[in-house]
Amino acid sequence: MVGISDKCTEDIARERKKCSFSSTELTHFWDGGVELTKRRKLLENYFLSDPELKSSVPLEYLSHKEKYERSIKLSCLFFKKISNWLEHNDTISAMEVYQSVLGGSLGSAVLKDGFPFAVHYVMFIPTIIGQGTMAQQAHWISRAWNLEIMCTYAQTELGHGTFIRGLETTSTYDPDTEEFVLHSPTLTSYKWWPGGLGHTCNYAVVLAQLYTKGQCHGIHPFVVQLRDEETWMPLPGIKIGEIGCKLGFNTVNNGYLGFDHVRIPRDRLLMKNNKVLKDGTYVKSQNDKLTYGTMIFVRVIVVRGVAASNLAKAVTIATRYSAVRRQSELKPGEPEPQIMEFQTQQYKLFPAIATVFAIKSSATWLWDVYNSVTKDLDQGDLDKLPELHAMACCLKAISTSDANQMIETCRFACGGHGYMTSSNFPTIYSSLTAAVTYEGENTVLLLQTARYLVKAWSQRDVTSATITATLKYLSDFRPSDIYQPWSLTMSNLAEAFRLVAAGKIKYCSEHIDYLIQKGYTSEDAWNATSIQLTQIAEAHCRAFIVDTFVKETEVAVVSEPVRKVLVQLCELYSVYWLLKNVGDFLVYSHLKISDVDAVNERLAELLAAIRPNAVGIVDSFDFHDDILDSALGAYDGRVYERIFEAANKSPLNAEPVNESFHKYLKPFLKGQM
């Protein structure tokens, strides 16, 4: 056993020695600067060195109820510790701390299946900021921030998650008492899914159809008290519970909620955008989609905080494992190679590494645009909202669907051991795959982006002078560009992605027009074209990601060896996705059949070029072992000992003979049953 351990640690140490660049420098780039790396590590040390936040029994061996109870205990200790930190340290802002513990991966080291308090921070508080008046913000944010109350965001119902205009919960204004009356008229109108709703929260923002003076004005956000602040008993008329076990998120306490004519004061309607006056008069905002603001915010943070971060974890585990796992023969009679020597293994891992960096660069863009558009909205300027919505939708959808598929590939890349819970792939996968559905199901979000693109195509000549940066390629598009010569340069690859997006958008738009001319209604024509419509949203998103990644590699303030790695990863991302959709590139770009072999060769060259640096690159994500929480992916490479140690934590191994032997197996084998 000792021999195996030495061999693994030697293998991984050798990988680190042959790395051609400084992993530490790449870590600084990944974090956004030396200072940010220092701050991240400071927070990690503070939380991860606390024995109270560690659990001796792995979560998976607890019952559902025990998991919940542990999650509440750990959440209270963890969030108390955050408050202590904020009280005594002013070097790191509260926002940065919460981003790091909830939006980053630090929290997963404490409670790997998710926090029942997360929606309080990620959705409730942002909704009050985005939808509340100054007075409402002062009241609710201070109560929520000081943890006097615990809150969630209750939008989805049993019958409707996607089509939120179809939500059934009603909130009817009664001018006599100046109250709203909340009611759930059907079983399908029960709120279903909100994190922490089951037993953890006593307040929620509830989205309900607002009725006043006999007229429905669509969905609006209301702050509703659900439980007594002292006894925690549900208030009269509130029917509340937990929705049961799920694929993952089993410590998040997702809940259900119904109302039986529950009365709340008028000022519980969040009135920054729309208002109801005392006499019941409805005052409309300039854009009714402002009510959807919180969803944009969460989509933005999902891209980096959830998609990039979970994929980075998975690929770190699989790459380190591939450096120490030896299997088969490359050449007869030679020692078994590290499985990373197989080209097929490299093809499973390295595009995922490239995708992590690609998602990260687009996420940075999206976060900056989100902040700038939010400032504009506060000044009443809504011009850039459609672009932000369209980009948040497609980037959320593409980043989570890529991560979803690539995390599974990373698991496959670890063979049977990847299937063990101790690899941590099951939790990483179940956390990430939820993001394909929550905060807007991915297909639906792609169709939102497609709607924006088809509209932009029809207006491209009229608006070309004012067209936004992400759409400029549409007004620049000339169909004859597909006759340009092909070359294997980064600028040419980026151009090919833009040509594919523009060509497909043109085709889709013309196809919809053609169907309408044939007699289809515009809605039927849309539905009959919707497979291609999701593809145009993807093509637009890929062209954007490639462009953003290229620009980032050009302007990054890094040494030449690090830049070289980034350029290789950027090219690999482009070549990989080109080959995945080669048919589109042959039809819509200047790639010709005779060029495809060269692209395949370039893919092989890039995999070989990245191979010596692979461990160094994933090291640069700098995951603390407690955050990776994987027997296969720890820094020291001691894979086999860790798998063994994890197996011995099984409660079944605590006794040599299980009592079921005496009760059932023995009588069964003796024919006495």
Ligand X SMILES: CCC/C=C/C(=O)SCCNC(=O)CCNC(=O)[C@H](O)C(C)(C)COP(=O)([O-])OP(=O)([O-])OC[C@H]1O[C@@H](n2cnc3c(N)ncnc32)[C@H](O)[C@@H]1OP(=O)([O-])[O-]
Rule CB under 6 A: choose which of 156, 316, 322, 589 binds ligand FAD.
Answer: 156
- List the x/- string, 261-300, binding to ligand X by CB under 6 A: ----------------------------x--x--xx-x--
Q: What is the sign, positive or negative, of the torsion defined by CA atoms of 99, 59, 312, 636?
A: positive
Q: Is 293 annotated as a binding residue?
A: no
Shortest separation between residue 563's beta carbon and ligand FAD, angstroms = 39
| Residue 307 contacts ligand X per CB under 6 A | no
Looking at the Cβ atoms of 396 and 417, the one nearer to ligand X is: 396
Where b means 16+ CB within 10 Å and e means fewer, 64-95 reads: eeebbebbbebbeebbebbeebeeeeeebeee
Output DSSP code: residue 206. Answer: E
- List the x/- string, 174-213, binding to ligand X by CB under 6 A: ---------------------x------------------
- Residue 408 CB partners (closer than 8 Å, separation 6+): 429
> Which window, 26-34, 115-123, 505-513, 609-617, contacts ligand X (CB under 6 A)?
115-123
> Which window, 279-287, 443-451, 564-572, 575-583, contacts ligand FAD (CB under 6 A)?
443-451
If you search the block for the tokens 């905080």, which residue do you land on?
305
Closest CA to 107 of 53, 67, 39, 41: 53
Rule CB under 6 A: choose which of 103, 104, 161, 280 binds ligand FAD.
Answer: 161
Catalytic residue from among 439, 495, 538, 552: 439
Looking at the Cβ atoms of 434 and 482, the one nearer to ligand FAD is: 434
Q: What is the sign, positive or negative, of the torsion defined by CA atoms of 12, 14, 20, 24?
A: positive
Tokens encoding 646: 């994890």
Q: Is 416 annotated as a binding residue?
A: no
Shortest separation between residue 159's beta carbon and ligand FAD, angstroms = 8
* CA–CA distance, 145 with 140 (Å, rounded to integer): 8
Shortest separation between residue 435's beta carbon and ligand FAD, angstroms = 8
Shortest separation between residue 393's beta carbon and ligand FAD, angstroms = 12
Own/partner contacts of 70-74, CB < 8 Å, gap of 24 or more, are 70/251, 71/111, 71/113, 71/115, 71/116, 71/251, 71/252, 71/253, 72/116, 72/200, 74/110, 74/111
Shortest separation between residue 155's beta carbon and ligand X, angstroms = 5
Where b means 16+ CB within 10 Å and e means fewer, 279-313 reads: ebebeeeeeeebbbbbbbbbbbbbbbbbbbbbbbb
> Which window, 179-187, 449-457, 458-466, 599-607, contacts ligand X (CB under 6 A)?
449-457
H, E, C per residue of 234-269: ECCCEEEEECCCCCCCCCCCCEEEEECCEEEEHHHE
Binding to ligand FAD in span 245-274, by CB under 6 A: 249, 254
> Which window, 32-40, 147-155, 321-329, 330-338, contacts ligand FAD (CB under 6 A)?
147-155
Size of the site for ligand FAD (CB under 6 A): 22
Closest CA to 222 of 270, 173, 265: 270
| Residue 633 contacts ligand FAD per CB under 6 A | no
Residue 158, classed as helix, strand or coil, is coil
* φ, ψ of residue 220 in degrees (nearest 5): -140, 155
* CA–CA distance, 316 with 619 (Å, rounded to integer): 7
| Residue 153 contacts ligand FAD per CB under 6 A | yes
- List the x/- string, 131-170, binding to ligand X by CB under 6 A: ----------------------x-xx-----xxxx-----
Other Cβ atoms less than 10 A from the Cβ of 623: the count is 23
Looking at the Cβ atoms of 161 and 293, the one nearer to ligand FAD is: 161
> Which window, 40-48, 272-280, 357-365, 440-448, contacts ligand FAD (CB under 6 A)?
440-448
Shortest-Cβ-distance residue relative to ligand FAD: 161
* CA–CA distance, 33 with 502 (Å, rounded to integer): 36
DSSP assignment string, 415-429: GGGGGSGGGSHHHHH
Shortest separation between residue 508's beta carbon and ligand X, angstroms = 15
Other Cβ atoms less than 10 A from the Cβ of 508: the count is 23
| Residue 434 contacts ligand FAD per CB under 6 A | yes
CA 31 vs CA 94, 312, 399, 611, 621: distances in Å: 18, 13, 19, 23, 8
Q: Where are the alpha helices (DSSP H) in 270-384?
A: 293-301, 309-324, 343-378
Residue 296 binding result from ligand X, ligand FAD, none, given CB thresholds of 5 to 8 Å by partner type: ligand X
Shortest separation between residue 529's beta carbon and ligand X, angstroms = 16
Give residue 520's identity as a one-letter amino acid code.
Y
Tokens encoding 309: 């971060």
Residue 554 annotated to the active site:
no
CB 339 within 8 A of CB 322: yes
Shortest separation between residue 170's beta carbon and ligand X, angstroms = 18
Residue 292 binding result from ligand FAD, ligand X, none, given CB thresholds of 5 to 8 Å by partner type: ligand X
- Numbered residues of the known binding site: 156, 195
* Contacting positions for ligand X (CB under 6 A): 118-119, 122, 153, 155-156, 162-165, 195, 289, 292, 295-296, 298, 385-386, 389, 438-440, 444, 448, 451-452, 455
Give binding residues for FAD as ranges.
Answer: 156, 195
Q: Which residues are catalytic?
A: 439
By CB under 6 A, name the binding residues for ligand FAD: 119, 153-156, 160-162, 193-195, 249, 254, 434, 437-441, 443-444, 447
